């Protein structure tokens, strides 16, 4: 698999994980399960995953520009 395809796959996986975490948080809030600890944990996981998605997006942009960064 070439680096660009691998980068695209990684980005899709990371974005799907972020989407899943956001849905879990929304589900907790919708059901009015006001468990502050669970919501705080999800918020922290979402923040961390956003950073991972941003890094994957940046790496993908570098690959698309033909300037692979160091991983």
Q: Is residue 8 part of a domain?
A: yes
User: Among the residues of 1-69, which ranges form H helices?
Assistant: 3-30, 36-64
Q: Is residue 17 part of a domain?
A: yes
Whether 70 shows a pLDDT value over 60: the answer reads no
Q: Is residue 70 part of a domain?
A: no
Quote the number of domains for the chain. Answer: 1
Rounded Cα distance between 58 and 8, Å, is 11
The reported pLDDT for the residue numbered 46 is 93
Residue range(s) defining the domain that contains residue 13 = 3-64
pLDDT per residue as tens digits for the range 7-20:
999 999 999 999 99
pTM: 0.76
Burial class (CB in 10 A: 0-12, 13-18, 19+), 65: exposed
pLDDT per residue as tens digits for the range 25-65:
888 887 766 778 888 888 999 999 999 999 999 999 998 99
């Amino acid at each position: 698999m070439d680096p660009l395809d691998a980068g695209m796959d990684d980005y899709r996986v990371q974005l799907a994980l972020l989407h899943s975490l956001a849905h879990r948080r929304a589900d907790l809030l919708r059901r009015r399960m006001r468990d502050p600890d669970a919501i705080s944990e999800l918020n922290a996981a979402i923040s961390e995953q956003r950073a991972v998605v941003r890094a994957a997006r940046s790496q993908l942009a570098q690959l698309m520009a033909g300037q692979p960064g160091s991983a």
